[in-house]
Amino acid sequence: MAIQLHYSRDAASAPLSVTLPLSKSIALRVLTLNALSRRLTGREAAIPSLPDAGDVAGMLRAMRLYGSGGAPSGRNTVHIGEGGAPLRFFLPLAASTPGLDMTVSAGLALSRRPLAPLLTALRDAGADVRPLRRQGRPPLRIIGQSLSPGEIVMDPGVSSQFVSALMMASPLWGRGLSLDFGGRTPVSAPYIAMTASLMERYSARIEHTGSHICVAPRHISPPDRMEIETDWSAVSYFYQLALLLPGTPIHIDRLTPPAVSLQGDARCAGIFSSIGVATEIHPDGNATLLCDAARLRRVKDSGIVLHYDMNATPDLVPALAVGFCLAGLKFRFTGVAHLRHKETDRMLAPATELARLGYRLRLEADAMGWEGEKCAAEEQPMIQTWSDHRMAMAFAPSAVIYPGLRIEHPQVVGKSFPRYWEMLGRLGFIIAPA
């Protein structure tokens, strides 16, 4: 399946307003902490609303089976889908629950993503997690038991989710958690900070330095209510669109201000501000994105190479890379080596698809960039999504510059933003089968 995109300002609704999904990163952590709280206290926080993302649906399936204590023999299997975070968050929780015996399966793409550092840490802690097919890959049988590990040493350079997963399960452990990074800097550190902040809202006791984390055992008390923020990762695609439509305001419903958001990806407001896309937060909580054409032109004409370290905010890279190229902005992103271990290789994938549009990116071991290099564009490009929701969403705004752009497998956006195509339709995109 593929779609074809055309942009027509006349087809847009007035005003240009979109409703973004709630943050799946926050939602998955809150669901995990609620399950932990139910186990330890019998209580949980009320969640007024959850995102309808595929990852959240997978986590809910797992949590329902977890909450039931498992089903009768032969029916203790849950399919968690393609979500890396749901699988990684669920494993330590289930492994730390005595009497639980269940199997977790996953989609094909997720089965190829890294899991070994988390499995090693769990085995070092005394957990019984057994791969049923290939070593270190789902499906996995989990036999829960009481755990009381000493200090765990983990390399945080592959995924912050491994760290968050251990943190959230550790109040179940007899001695809590003492996690050492061996002096290494975690990737995606804001996500670890998000986990710590949310755990503290559940009254967990945490000591968090740059290279060491301690969590006290058994200390959990849920708040009455947990509100989920709007997803700042999703906002990046509409900043990208504002960049490509200078002078056209785009209104965003319910946006947590960057200064108070738990999400590291709120950083995109500052990045886009530096090139001329302003963010105005209104008293009603809504926001307006607007690109100043003159300021954008000055940045472009200066010839400056925009340099950003993306180690902490990797999910912004696809939208930034595509948007900057199409706007003619030179850039260099560092701290991106771990992008090769996401849903797909998020260094290679954007570079490959941007070449279809005539842009030649430079890839290094831990950097990617563009300094104006061009190549022959395809006459009728078909963007491959690489089974990655962020690839589809990052390239769709390109139809402003490339009318009739085609995108294969558009349904992949369901992982995080099922209504993405509907929102583009509100903004004037005409979407038809290709």
For residue 118, the Cα-to-chain-centroid distance in whole angstroms is 18
Could you give the CA distance from residue 369 to residue 349 in angstroms, rounded to a whole number?
Answer: 13
Residue with tokens 């669109």: 241
Backbone angles phi, psi at 42, to 5 degrees: 80, 5
CB 227 within 8 A of CB 23: no
Question: Any idea what DSSP says for residue 337?
Answer: G
Could you give the CA distance from residue 26 to residue 263 in angstroms, rounded to a whole number?
Answer: 8
Q: Which helix (H) or strand (E) holds 394?
A: helix 389-395
**Helices and strands, number each (H, E), in the chain:** 14, 20
Question: Any idea what DSSP says for residue 218?
Answer: T
Q: Residue 341, CB half-sphere, CA atoms under 13 Å: how many? A: 17
Could you give the CA distance from residue 346 to residue 343 in angstroms, rounded to a whole number?
Answer: 8
3-state secondary structure string across 61-120: HHHHHHHHCCCCCCCCEEECCCCHHHHHHHHHHHHCCCCCEEEEECCHHHHCCCCHHHHH
What count of other Cβ atoms lies within 10 Å of the Cβ of residue 316? 26
Which residues carry out catalysis?
315
Backbone angles phi, psi at 26, to 5 degrees: -70, -45
Question: Any idea what DSSP says for residue 128?
Answer: E
CB 44 within 8 A of CB 34: yes
3-state secondary structure string across 143-181: ECCCCCCCEEECCCCCCHHHHHHHHHHHHHCCCCEEEEC
Strand pairing category for 362-363 and 367-370: antiparallel
What count of other Cβ atoms lies within 10 Å of the Cβ of residue 68? 10
Could you give the CA distance from residue 314 to residue 273 in angstroms, rounded to a whole number?
Answer: 18
Could you give the CA distance from residue 240 to residue 399 in angstroms, rounded to a whole number?
Answer: 12
Backbone angles phi, psi at 6, to 5 degrees: -130, 145
